[in-house]
Amino acid sequence: MSDTTTSQSGGAPWESRREPTGRHLIRRSLPWIGVAGLFSVIGWGLWPKPVIVETGEVARGALTVHVSEEGKTRVRNRYVVAAPVAGTMRRVMLKPGDVVEAGVTVLTVIEPAVAPLLDPRARVQAEAVVSMHEASRSRAAESLEAARAMSRLAEAERERMRSVKRDGSLSESDRDRMEAEASAKAAEVRSMEFALKVIDFELAQARAALERPPVSTAGNLIEVKSPVSGKVLGVMQESETVVSPGTRILEVGDPQDIEIEAEILSRDAVTIRPGDAVDVEQWGGDSSLKARVRRVEPAAFTKISALGVEEQRVIVLCDLLDPPESAKALGDRYRVEARVAIWHGDDVLVAPAGALFREGNLWKTFIQQKGEAKAVVVDAGRSDGRRTEILSGLKAGDRVLLHPPDTVRDGTSVKERSTEE
């Protein structure tokens, strides 16, 4: 039975098996192929790849360095109108923006002040002053009568002296003495009459302090007119009120005659000179306005920045040069940005400012050379924030890396980002 089975199976058990077919080989090699592919993927992932960077070109061109700072417009000549006298000011009917004409437009009217009421103590004091002046008048009147009596006596003596015709009856000295005495007594009478008038005036003044006469506005109104032609800039006191001399009422000026006021850091202000060109931007128009520095004030002031840092700033005043019609809409205290040109070069070697970085006390940059990044030490000059002057270290035509990432080192493989990316 066993022999039959062996013969049917095609051979003895100790005979070698048949060679595997191609399908069997592929099946057995699949795991090895997968392992090899896995190692290939890992090796490809670990293989260093070029860093994608952006580059800029070093070239020669014009460079202008600006100092940029926020500024504001202001009316060149401002006039604060104040009350010239004390009294009751009527309500100001003008509003900011109203047109005024010099010497014609009445800004407000001031009525004479009403006499103040006296409290009981002040009234008693005023009555005592009246009584004092009345007593003084009575004394002066009695003194005047006495002086008149003495003057009449002296006049009578002089007349008797003149009636004596005979020579030698009176000496010349006696005659002169009588004449002088009569004249002195007459002058004393006139002096006492003037003193009595003074006391009468003082008495009338003291009695007026006790009275409260009605106020008459006829011919007593004071019209306050505009000192210049322009517009009302602001109203400090609008409602009717009692004012004293010097009370601020309103402010007028010409909004068309404006200047630019910029608060520049003191370290930047030392580089600005009168006559420097200024570009006024962000004023509301499409193009910038041209201006020129007129004055750099000599004194700085302390200002707290938005970060809470104390800064020393200097006011720089600029004049607009031929402003367009659209710029006439600018008013007082409008916000603008002033860019003052402090230096200009027509033929300067410049590089993008984003390609330079600080390492210690040195300025460095990376240039792209044969697909690798090469660190170069440069000597940087002035900068306008976008481009920087290169004094040494680079030449025209060099490609520098813009804002290189931290992974870039000297010798790192780099690849320039294409425009499609």
Beta-bridge partners for 80: 251
Same domain, 370 and 303: no
Q: Point out the least confidently predicted range of 21-30, 51-60, 354-363.
A: 21-30
Position 204 scores a pLDDT of: 85
Position 15 scores a pLDDT of: 54
338 falls within a domain: yes
Find the mean pLDDT for residues 160-175. Answer: 68
**Final residue before a domain boundary, out of 329, 344, 359:** 344
**Rounded Cα gap, residues 404 and 368, in angstroms:** 11
- The owner of tokens 């020669």 is 60
135 falls within a domain: yes
One-character DSSP codes across 192-247 = HHHHHHHHHHHHHHHHHHH--PPP--TTT-EEEE-SSSEEEEEES--S-EEE-TT-
Position 286 scores a pLDDT of: 87
Find the mean pLDDT for residues 41-64. Answer: 80
Is residue 322 classed as helix, strand or coil in its secondary structure?
A: coil
Find the mean pLDDT for residues 307-315. Answer: 93
Same domain, 268 and 244: no
12 falls within a domain: no
pLDDT digits (tens, 9 = 90+) for 84-113: 988 889 999 999 999 999 999 999 999 887
Position 292 scores a pLDDT of: 95
Is residue 317 classed as helix, strand or coil in its secondary structure?
A: strand
Find the mean pLDDT for residues 224-244. Answer: 92
Read off the pLDDT band of 5 (50, 70, 90).
Answer: very low
**Rounded Cα gap, residues 352 and 364, in angstroms:** 13
Q: Point out the least confidently predicted range of 12-26, 64-78, 255-269, 389-403.
A: 12-26
Q: Point out the least confidently predicted range of 71-75, 335-339, 417-421.
A: 417-421
pLDDT digits (tens, 9 = 90+) for 344-401: 999 999 999 999 998 888 999 999 888 888 999 999 999 888 899 999 999 999 999 9
Beta strand ranges found along 384-421 (DSSP E): 387-392, 399-402, 414-416
Same domain, 369 and 320: no
CATH code of the domain covering residue 275: 2.40.30.170
| Tokens, residue 213 | 């006469």
pLDDT digits (tens, 9 = 90+) for 297-306: 999 999 998 8
Spatial CA neighbour of 320 closest among 77, 73, 79: 73
Beta-bridge partners for 314: 264
| C-beta neighbour count of 53 within 10 angstroms | 22
Q: Is pLDDT above 90 for 11?
A: no
Q: Cβ(22)–Cβ(321) under 8 Å?
A: no
**Rounded Cα gap, residues 258 and 294, in angstroms:** 13
Q: Is pLDDT above 80 for 168?
A: no
One-character DSSP codes across 163-186 = H--STTSS-HHHHHHHHHHHHHHH
As for how many domains the chain has, the answer is 4
45 falls within a domain: no
Q: Is pLDDT above 70 for 311?
A: yes
158 falls within a domain: yes
Considering only residues 307 and 179, tell me which one the structure prediction assigns the higher pLDDT. 307
CATH code of the domain covering residue 387: 2.40.420.20
Position 309 scores a pLDDT of: 92
Same domain, 243 and 204: no
Considering only residues 204 and 289, tell me which one the structure prediction assigns the higher pLDDT. 289
**Percent of the chain at pLDDT exceeding 90:** 41
Same domain, 237 and 109: yes
Considering only residues 209 and 291, tell me which one the structure prediction assigns the higher pLDDT. 291
Q: Is the dihedral of CA 170, 171, 173, 176 positive or negative?
A: positive
- The owner of tokens 């500024």 is 71
One-character DSSP codes across 83-130 = -SS-EEEPPP---TT-EE-TTTSEEEEEEPPPPPPPPHHHHHHHHHHH
Same domain, 192 and 322: no
Find the mean pLDDT for residues 213-231. Answer: 79
Same domain, 130 and 97: no
pLDDT digits (tens, 9 = 90+) for 242-257: 999 999 999 999 888 8
Position 216 scores a pLDDT of: 61
Same domain, 104 and 234: yes
CA end-to-end distance (rounded Å), the chain: 80
1 falls within a domain: no
Same domain, 225 and 92: yes
Same domain, 138 and 196: yes
Give whichever of 41-50, 115-124, 346-355, 367-376 has the largest mean pLDDT: 346-355
Q: How many helices (H) and strands (E) does the chain have?
A: 5, 22
**Final residue before a domain boundary, out of 306, 328, 344:** 344
16 falls within a domain: no
Exposure letters 115-149 (e unless 16+ CB within 10 A, then b)? eeebeeeeeeebeebbeebeebbeebeeebeebbe
Position 349 scores a pLDDT of: 93
| Chain mean pLDDT for the chain | 84
Same domain, 265 and 194: no
Find the mean pLDDT for residues 276-285. Answer: 92
Q: Is 88 exposed, middle or buried (CB count within 10 Å of its CB: 0-12, 13-18, 19+)?
A: middle
**Percent of the chain at pLDDT exceeding 70:** 86
6 falls within a domain: no
Find the mean pLDDT for residues 30-48. Answer: 69
Beta-bridge partners for 259: 74
**Final residue before a domain boundary, out of 303, 320, 344:** 344
Position 29 scores a pLDDT of: 72
Q: Provide the domain limits for residue 332.
A: 66-73+256-344
CATH code of the domain covering residue 94: 2.40.50.100
Same domain, 140 and 89: no
